[in-house]
Amino acid sequence: MLLAASLLLGGFAHAQAIEPMPFKDHAQELRFQHLTHQLRCPMCQNETLADSNAPIARDLRNQIFRMMQQGRSDEEIKQYLVARYSEFVLYDPPLKPGTWLLWFGPLLILCGGTGVVLAAIRRRNRGDGAAEAPTDNGDDW
């Protein structure tokens, strides 16, 4: 009973955290959802603005909604947020020299790890061949 009550209250609290907005039509609502899923919460770091319950995420969703009501395009809204929070706010940052490590770093780490494993296997194979041929130097008791 207590578990059911806590789940019910938890769901109610989550529903209260992300408030509905008065969109003009369904297309505008879909545009808003798409845009907020492309942007990262500056506080949560691994959540989109659409999913975050942080106060700053709520403020940014309201700011995006106001900018949409003013007739700004998605690109203008993104530029505004990038100017304010840097490219960190974008979930898919553009490919440029400053973000090469972000885009290709995981691949480099994977290749480096593969190289280390292959080198260890080669060393082990070379070591096994020498261990199979015992040397008899006559010092046996």
Q: Is the pTM value of this prediction over 0.75?
A: no
130 within some domain: no
CB 81 within 8 A of CB 38: no
* Same-domain check for residues 29 and 90: yes
CATH code at position 45: 1.10.8.640
CA atoms of 54 and 51, how far apart (whole Å): 9
DSSP string across 104-118: HHHHHHHHHHHHHHH
User: What's the confidence (pLDDT) of residue 18?
Assistant: 55
Q: Are residues 100 and 108 in contact, defined by beta-carbon separation less than 8 angstroms?
A: no
Q: What is the pLDDT of residue 83?
A: 92
Domain with 101 in it: 95-125
Same domain? For 99 and 121 the reply is yes
- In whole angstroms, give the CA distance from residue 34 to residue 91: 12
- Using the CB atoms, write b or e for 1-28: b if 16+ within 10 Å: eeeeeeeeeeeeeeeeebeeeebeeeee
User: Is 62 in the same domain as 33?
Assistant: yes
pLDDT of 7 reads 45
Low-confidence ranges of the chain (pLDDT < 70): 1-19, 99, 128-141
Note whether residue 63 is domain-resident.
yes
**Domain count across the chain:** 2
Could you tell me which of 59, 74, 78 has the C-alpha nearest to residue 18?
59
